[in-house]
Amino acid sequence: MLTALVLILLFPLLIGVALLFKSIPLLNADSIVNLLFSDNWAPNSGKFGFWPFIFSSLYVTVLSFIFSAPLCLLAAIYLTEFASARLIRIMHPVIDILAGIPSVIYGMWGILVIVPFVGDYLAPVFGLNSSGYSILAGGIVLAIMCIPYMLNMLIETFKSVPYGLKEAGFSLGATHWETIKHIVIRKSRPGIISAFGLGMAKAFGETLAVMMVVGNIARITGNPFEAGYPLPALIANNYGEMLSIPLYDSALMFAALVLFVVVLLINLVFRYLIIASNPAKV
Amino acid sequence: MNTLTAKNTDTLMEPRAIRKTKPESAISIKNLNVHAGSHHILNNINLEIPKNKVTVLLGPSGCGKTTLLKSLNKLTDLYKELDVSGSVFIGKDDILNSNHNIPALRQKMGLLSQKPYPLPVSIFKNVAYGLKLKGVKDKKLIAYNVEQKLKEVGLWEEVKDRLHSSADSLSIGQQQRLCLARGLAVKPQIILADEPTSALDPVSSKIIEERFRELKKYYTIVIVTHILRQAQRLADNVVFMHYGKIIEQGTPEAVLKNPQSSQLKEYLVDGF
Ligand SMILES: Nc1ncnc2c1ncn2[C@@H]1O[C@H](COP(=O)(O)OP(=O)(O)OP(=O)(O)O)[C@@H](O)[C@H]1O
Ligand SMILES: [Mg+2]
């Protein structure tokens, strides 16, 4: 038992150390600032600037968050505060099924539906030309993948607000909306932040589905209708293939290390926010 | 319905002398029925709650005391499975059958529940919340009220130096007094209390009970309790319920010392 626990606790550390160890050749060849923030990606001439990948990853993650978070929040409030008991009973298995669908299926569906939708309908609306394989498509697919996760956690959070607390709000003369706004959401703040954090971390690390729709071209663009190339896709696409190029192996390890550290950072930041937002401290 | 309204105007017209002999009702419950599916939770309740008196609801667990209390400020609305019919007159308004401004109606009543549920904000904001809902903006007025109400429940000295820390940091007994202060801050006419001391230690219980004895000068109080001694100490009027029905009611002497029904006799034997 204890050994298992220690192993579980040590695991992240072991992963981090292994990745760091393997990244050392690259870190010796170039400065870390250059590696992280240069946009010159030319492995053949020994230039490894990761910024396009990091940028793409952040971009799709933020987009997916913008699409999914408010939607999940409203849906969870609706389901826990307004919907009939029957609807909730129906929704629960539906959410579980959505959460259990393998990401390759989301990816396929993204290619079949989201990519043409973005390329053929959405881009022309903005007067743009797009193949559909784009940051935006990646963001949408990610958002859809994150929804069941976040929704589930948010529903649980809202359901755990004691009935007596809501009754207290009502009995003081609050309307239903005031009770939701001042009491339910406030009481749930740590849970909401934690749901958002886990959703974001999941989005940032998600590989397959995004890779299938995002276009995989390393460049920096603010235009969401253009292709991007997130970090996980870089690793998955190239590992085991381009390893004849010097330092490429080490570069992919470094990419994994960056991914790992960012996910860790997201977790830490949200953990801090949860503690800071704890209503016990207001 | 017509006869009820007519009767009500009559009472209003009654000359002073006669009204004095008949205690004035703060709440008048007529043919109140509450169902949850096929479960008849409250069975044709008719009850007058006298103004500025303490009415104690007694009865075995599950007999519908909490449900009766919640019907009085329409908290039953929150439970979609409950079907409420009949009339509850607060003054001359039938709150069950008029589309009343429900939040304003609820502010006429302060609710104290079995367990304290402080709002997830500071001590100060807990008490100020009802005023904020009422639209009071004047900061001085709010601060004055918060202080007054905290003094009224005997909490001021204990919390005056940490008004802005979380209400969760208070002890359970303090939280319950905070909840009372919070309820009083909206200036209710009626206090509904559902076993307000059952989760508290003896000292906090005693403080709450003493508050009630003070408060009954200014408020109509309806209180549920399982503690018969507490009922005896507090009550002007005792109502005994059993399986959703009112079995007996009257002064504490009459009801507690001289029970008529077998159900009440049994309950009292178990209780003392
Ligand atoms: N929302 C509801 N849905 C279904 N049944 C309910 C609901 N609320 C109460 N009941 C049922 O109505 C009955 C009366 O409940 P109530 O809480 O009013 O009893 P009580 O007299 O307050 O009991 P206690 O002394 O244990 O607090 C119980 O059998 C309870 O299970
Ligand atoms: Mg009860």
Per-residue model confidence as pLDDT tens digits over B82-110 = 999 999 999 888 999 887 788 998 999 99
Digit-coded pLDDT (tens) for A58-76: 999 999 999 999 999 999 9
User: B183: nearest CA in chain A?
Assistant: A172
pLDDT in tens, B33-84: 999 999 999 999 999 999 999 999 999 999 999 999 999 999 999 998 999 9
Question: Across all residues in chain A, what is the average pLDDT?
Answer: 92
- Predicted local distance difference test score (pLDDT) of residue B19: 46
Using the mean position of ligand 1's atoms as its centre, give its distance from the Cα of residue B226 in Å: 15
Cα B199 to ligand 2 centroid, rounded to whole Å = 13
For residue B69, give the ligand 1 atom closest to its CA: 18
Q: A278 pLDDT exceeds 80?
A: no
CB A61 within 8 A of CB A136: no
Q: pTM to 2 decimals? A: 0.86
> Which residue of B lies nearest to A175 if distances are taken between CA atoms?
B103
| pLDDT grade for A114, boundaries at 50, 70 and 90 | very high
Q: Residue B8: its pLDDT value, please? A: 46
Smallest Cα distance from B234 to chain A, Å: 23
Beta strand A41-42 with B245-250: parallel, antiparallel or unpaired? unpaired
Does the CB of B168 have a partner CB in chain A at under 8 Å?
yes
User: What's the gap in Å between B224 CA and the centre of ligand 2?
Assistant: 8
Integer angstrom CA distances of residue A163 from A142, A175, B168, B193, B194: 34, 15, 17, 16, 15
Instruction: Identify which of A163, A166, A282 has the shortest CB distance to residue B122.
Output: A282
Residue B169 forms contact with A (CB below 8 Å): yes
Contact criterion met (CB < 8 Å) for B168 and A280: yes
Residues having CB within 6 Å of any atom of ligand 1: B 36, 39, 41, 59, 61-67, 79, 81-82
CATH of domain A48-281: 1.10.3720.10
Whether the pLDDT of residue A139 is over 60: the answer is yes
Chain B CB within 8 Å of residue A85 CB: yes
What is the rounded CA–CA span in Å between residue A221 and residue A226?
A: 7
Domain spans of chain A, in order of start: 48-281
Average pLDDT on B144-157 reads: 94
Report the phi/psi class of residue A275: left, alpha or beta, with left for phi > 0 and alpha for psi in -120 to 50.
alpha
Whether the predicted pLDDT of B21 surpasses 60: no
Reported confidence tier of residue B15, pLDDT bands at 50, 70, 90:
very low
Please tell me the predicted confidence (pLDDT) of residue B216.
Answer: 87
The reply to whether residue B120 touches residue A178, judged by beta carbons under 8 angstroms, is no
Confidence class for position A280, pLDDT limits 50, 70, 90:
low
pLDDT in tens, A195-216: 999 999 999 988 899 999 999 9
B124 CA distance to ligand 2 centroid (A)?
29
Reported ipTM: 0.87
| pLDDT tens by residue, A218-273 | 989 899 999 999 999 999 998 877 678 888 989 999 999 999 999 999 989 998 98
Q: Do B166 and A279 touch (CB under 8 A)?
A: yes
Q: How far apart are CA A200 and CA B165, in angstroms?
A: 32
Region B220-241: what's the mean pLDDT?
93
Q: By CB neighbour count within 10 A (0-12 exposed, 13-18 middle, 19+ buried), where does B197 fall?
A: buried
CB-based burial, A66-95: b 16+ in 10 Å, e otherwise = ebbbebbbebbbebbeeeeeeeeeebeeeb
**Which among A84, A173, A279 has the least Cβ separation from residue B107?**
A173
B244 CA distance to ligand 1 middle (Å): 10
Residues of chain B contacting A173 with CB distance shorter than 8 Å: 103-104, 106-107, 130, 133-134, 186
B235 within 8 A of B56, measured Cβ to Cβ: yes
Mutate to test the pocket of ligand 1, among B66, B111, B243 (most ligand atoms within 8 A of CB): B66
Average pLDDT for A32-54 = 91
* pLDDT reading at A171 higher than 60: yes
